[in-house]
Structure 1
Amino acid sequence: MIYIPVDTLDIYHNFALEYYLASEKRFSEPVFLLWSTTPTVMLGKYQDALAELNLEYIRQHHINVVRRYSGGGTIYTDEGGYQFTFIQPDTQQMIDFKAYINTIATALNQMQIPAIATSRNDLTVNDRKISGSAQYKHNGFTVHHGSLLFNTNLEQMYDALHVDNLKLRSKHIASILERTINIQTIRPDLTNQDFAADLQQHVLATVTNLRTYQLTPTDLARIKVIAKDKFQNSQFIYGHTPTTELSKKHYFKGGGLVKFDLTVKHGILTELHLSGDFFSSIDQYLLAKSLLGRPFRPDQVRPILIQQLQQQPILGISADDLLALLFS
C-alpha cells in the first residue's frame, strides 16, 4: 500500500488528487489518503443541487460547494472532521463498500470507538451516524472515499443541507441532528490531531510493504488543472434543473432515494432526469438519451433499463424497481 500525505484543506485539490490517481498516475498498489477540508458541502453525482442545498445560507457563510463523481447523498465537512480515501485497481463495475468500511471500523474499534457498519455505507455508534462512504469506478480503478465526524459543526451541517423528508421518514428519524454524533463526544480525551494520527496508525499497521509517496511538482501541476476543469466547474456542480410535468420519487431500502423528473407528450417520453442518493456508475444522460423518443410504456422502457443496469448496476435497486417507480 502507498500512503500519500495531504497537506491542504482545499476540497477541489483533494478531489482532483483522487481523480488524478485513478486516471493518470495509476499506481498498481492500493493508495490511502487521510485529509480534511474547510467548510464544504459535497453533492452526490446524481443529486439536484437546488433541492439539496440551502444556497443562501451557504453563500452567507462562505461554504464551498463541490460535486463528487460518486453517488450517494450530500454531506457537510469542515476542519473538525476527516475524510479517508482508498484507491486501487479494480475492473468490477459493481459498487462494494464492505472491505473499505470494515477497515475503518476495525481501526476505530481498536481506538475504543465502538463503530459498526450499518445500512449500505454508514458507520454508527449507538445507532447514531459517525461516517458515510461513497464510491466510484474510473478507468479500471475503484475510488472509495468516506467522511468521519470528529468535531464537526453539526449545527452548520444542519443549516446548510436540505434532507429529504421521505428519506428521514423511511428511517424513522425526525432530523439529521438526531441521527448523527461527533466521535469526540465518545472520546473527549482525543484532540483532532490525536484522532487523525491514531486512525492513520491503525489503518496502516497491518499493511505489508507500506511506502510513502510525496507528490511532485509535476503531479501538483496536473492536479491543479483537473481541479479547475472538473471540480470547480459550475456547470458540473449545479447542472440544470429540468422543467418537467411528472415527478416520481421513492426511497428503496438498501438502495437509496431515486427521483425521476419526466415529460410525456402524446404518449412519447420527451424529457427524463434521474437524480437521487443511490450508488452506481450509470451515466444518467446516456440513460435518458436511450429512452427519449420512445413510447412511454412498460414494454418499451423495461428492455432499456435492463440493458443499462446490466452494464452499470445500481446498488440495491433493480431495473424492475425503476420500472415500477416510473409507472407508479
Structure 2
Amino acid sequence: MIFIENEDVTNPHLNLALEEYILRNFSVENDYLLFYVNEPSIIIGRNQNTLEEINHEYVEQNNIHVVRRVSGGGAVYHDFGNLNFSFITNHDVKSLNNFKKFTAPVIKVLNNLGLNAELKGRNDILIDEKKISGTAQFSTGKRMVSHGTLLFDTDLGEVVNALNVKMSKIQSKGHKSVRSRVANISEFLREPLTIETFRTLLLEGLYEESEPFETYRLTADEWKAVHQLKEEKYDTWDWNYGKSPKFNIQRNKRFAIGEIDLRIFVDKGLIKEFKVYGDFFGKEPVETLENLLQETRYEKENITEILKDVNLKEYFGDIDEEDFINLVYGDDE
C-alpha cells in the first residue's frame, strides 16, 4: 500500500481529479491510499440529477462548490470537518460493492478509539445507530476506487441547508430528518481531538493492517496532468450539472439497491430521450443503457425484447429485470 500525499489541497475539483488520475494512471502493481479534506462543497453521485439534489439558491449565496464524482450513490456535504479516504486497487469482482472489505480497517481504528462503529445498510458506517460515514465505489474494469466520507466535526446544519433531501429517502429510513440520522465522530470521543490528529491516528491504524506504507508525492508533471483533468472535466458545467433532458414521463421507485428515477420523452410512440438518475451503485455506465432504448417503441413488449440480453445488475446492482421493466413502462403500482 502506498500513501499518496495530496499536499493539503482542499479544492474538491482538484481532489477528485487527483483521485481519478491515480486510478487511471498509477501502476497496477500497487494499491494506493489517499486522504483529503475539502472546502464546503456538495459531492454529487455519478448518476444523480444535480439540480434536484441541491438547494441551488443557498449553494450560490454561500459559494459552496458543487462537483460530481465518478462513483454512484447519493449526494454528500463536505467541509473542513469532514475527512475523506480513498482506496485505489485492482478491480476484483468479489470486491465490487463489497463495502465491508474496505471499511473494515477504518471501523477497527474507530473501535480502537473506544467507539461502537459498525457497517450497516448498503454502505454506511454507524456509531450507536448514527451515520458517521458513507462509502461508494467505481471500477474501470481494471482498477477500482473505494472511497468514503468520515464526519468528524462537520457543520451538520449545513447538510440540511445545502441539500434538498428527497422524501422517499427520509421515509424509507423511517426518520423525520437528516439531522436525526447523522452525527459527528467528535461527539462520541472520550477526549477531544483535532481532525489532523484523527487523520494521523487513522493512518497509523491502517498501517497496522498492511505491510509498511510508502509515502509518495506527485511530480510536477503529474500535478500538471491532474490540473488539466480538473479543468477539462471537474470544472465544467456539463460534468457537474449536465443538461436536463426534455421529458413527459417520470417514473421513480426506491429499491433495495437504491433509488431509480427515470425521465422519458416519448414522441409519436417512440422513446426520443431516456435518462436514468439515482443513488444506486453499478459497474457499467447507465449511458449505454440509455442509448440502447433510444428510438424504441414505448411498449412493454418492445422494451422487454431490447432488454432481454442485457445484464441489468451490471448497471444497478442486484435488481430484478421484471421490476425494472415495470418501472420503465409503468406497471409497478
Q: Which residue of 1 aligns with 2:250?
A: 247
CA contact (8 A) 2:87 2:146 kept: yes
Residue 16 of structure 1: how far off its partner (Å): 1.0
Q: Which residue of 2 aligns with 1:2?
A: 2
1:54-133 mapped onto 2 (5 Å cutoff): 54-90=55-91, 92=93, 94-133=96-135
Q: Which moved more, 1:41-50 or 1:283-292?
A: 283-292
- The reply on whether 1:214 has 2:217 as its aligned counterpart is yes
User: 299, 302, 315: which one pairs with 2:301?
Assistant: 299
Residue 117 of structure 1: how far off its partner (Å): 0.3
Q: Which amino acid aligns with 1:179?
A: R
- 1:98-145 per-residue CA deviation (whole Å, 9 max, x = no partner) reads 201222111211121211100111001121110000110125101111
Describe the SS at the equivalent of 1:86: strand
Q: Which residue of 1 aligns with 2:229?
A: 226
Q: Which amino acid aligns with 1:72?
A: G
1:103-252 mapped onto 2 (5 Å cutoff): 103-138=105-140, 140-187=142-189, 188-252=191-255
Q: Structure 1 residues 28 and 320 mapped into 2: Cα distance closer, same or farther (>3 Å)?
A: farther
CA contact (8 A) 1:23 1:139 kept: no
- 1:17-55 per-residue CA deviation (whole Å, 9 max, x = no partner) reads 111112122341111111101001000001011100111
* d(CA) in 2 for partners of 1:203, 1:95: 21
Q: Structure 1 residues 103 and 298 mapped into 2: Cα distance closer, same or farther (>3 Å)?
A: farther
Residue 281 of structure 1: how far off its partner (Å): 2.9
Q: Structure 1 residues 66 and 260 mapped into 2: Cα distance closer, same or farther (>3 Å)?
A: same
* d(CA) in 1 for partners of 2:50, 2:192: 38
Residue 315 of structure 1: how far off its partner (Å): 2.1
Q: Structure 1 residues 197 and 62 mapped into 2: Cα distance closer, same or farther (>3 Å)?
A: same
TM-score (norm 1): 0.95
Describe the SS at the equivalent of 2:111: helix
CA contact (8 A) 1:122 1:133 kept: yes
CA contact (8 A) 2:282 2:313 kept: no
Report the number of matched residues. Answer: 327
Describe the SS at the equivalent of 1:258: strand
Q: Structure 1 residues 105 and 3 mapped into 2: Cα distance closer, same or farther (>3 Å)?
A: same
Residue 310 of structure 1: how far off its partner (Å): 5.5
CA contact (8 A) 1:248 1:325 kept: yes
Q: Which residue of 2 aligns with 1:52?
A: 53
Q: Which residue of 2 aligns with 1:288?
A: 290
- 1:200-223 per-residue CA deviation (whole Å, 9 max, x = no partner) reads 111121211421111111111111
CA contact (8 A) 1:21 1:27 kept: no
Describe the SS at the equivalent of 1:309: coil
CA contact (8 A) 2:46 2:73 kept: yes
* d(CA) in 1 for partners of 2:213, 2:308: 42
Q: Which moved more, 1:185-194 or 1:268-277?
A: 185-194
Describe the SS at the equivalent of 1:95: coil
- 1:162-210 per-residue CA deviation (whole Å, 9 max, x = no partner) reads 1110111011111111100011000152221221111111112121142
User: 275, 290, 297: which one pairs with 1:273?
Assistant: 275
Describe the SS at the equivalent of 1:42: strand
Q: Which residue of 2 aligns with 1:29?
A: 30
- 1:284-320 per-residue CA deviation (whole Å, 9 max, x = no partner) reads 2221211111122233223444544358342232332
- 1:55-105 per-residue CA deviation (whole Å, 9 max, x = no partner) reads 111111111110011000000001011000000111539433220122211
TM-score (norm 2): 0.93
Q: Which residue of 2 aligns with 1:17?
A: 18
Q: Which moved more, 1:105-114 or 1:163-172?
A: 105-114
Q: Which moved more, 1:135-144 or 1:264-273?
A: 264-273
* d(CA) in 2 for partners of 1:181, 1:62: 24
* d(CA) in 2 for partners of 1:40, 1:268: 39
* d(CA) in 2 for partners of 1:310, 1:115: 33
Q: Which residues of structure 1 form unaligned runs of 5+? A: none
